Amino acid sequence: MVKIKINLITVGALKASFLEAGILEFEKRLKHYCDLNFVEVKAETVPKNSSAKDLAALQALEGEKILEALPERSYVFALDVKGKPMTSTGFAKSLHNLQVRGYSSFSFIIGGATGLSDFVLKKADYRFSLSHMTFTHQMIRLILLEQIYRAFKINNNEPYHL
């Protein structure tokens, strides 16, 4: 069976050491199930008193870098506050069904402070939300990795214990 490739494409570098420890833990756990690849694109500086037009321009600059980082033939998930919510079991089932359809590479896009541009959202195969609550883009990395790990455990009928 082909080893699954998971690409986490994020805007900006991880700055919180308390999150880094959790991310390293799930990176270690996921090695048994997939090849995990982290791609950080440079975040644009958001000036004070930015207009909506300024923010859209920053989103576009970050969006171009995101699209350049996307591997070919990868199923693209964009994390979007307006995306469809999904349960953990629903997410696991979606990944399984996509694998059955022949996908072995999945890319997850996490935007930066200004969010994702419309053209990045349109490029995504699926837009989903991890919660109706708002989290920092830094925290979402850890939460998403935990859900990816949980999906592999569900799909392999393995118990999940922390």
Annotated ligand binding at 131? The verdict is yes
31, with CB counted inside 10 A (0-12, 13-18, 19+), is: exposed
Annotated ligand binding at 1? The verdict is no
Annotated ligand binding at 36? The verdict is no
Cα dist. 16→23, 48, 136 in Å?
11, 23, 11
Annotated ligand binding at 86? The verdict is no
Report the alpha-carbon distance of residue 63 to residue 149 in Å, rounded: 27
Q: Which residues 6+ apart lie within 8 Å of 27 measured at CB? A: 36, 145
Annotated ligand binding at 79? The verdict is yes
Q: Residues 20, 158, 76, 114: is their CA dihedral positive or negative?
A: negative
Annotated ligand binding at 111? The verdict is yes
Give Cα 2 to chain centroid, integer Å: 21
Q: Which residues, listed in sequence order, are joined to residue 11 by a DSSP beta bridge?
A: 41
Annotated binding-site members: 79, 111, 130-135
Annotated binding-site members for S-adenosyl-L-methionine: 79, 111, 130-135
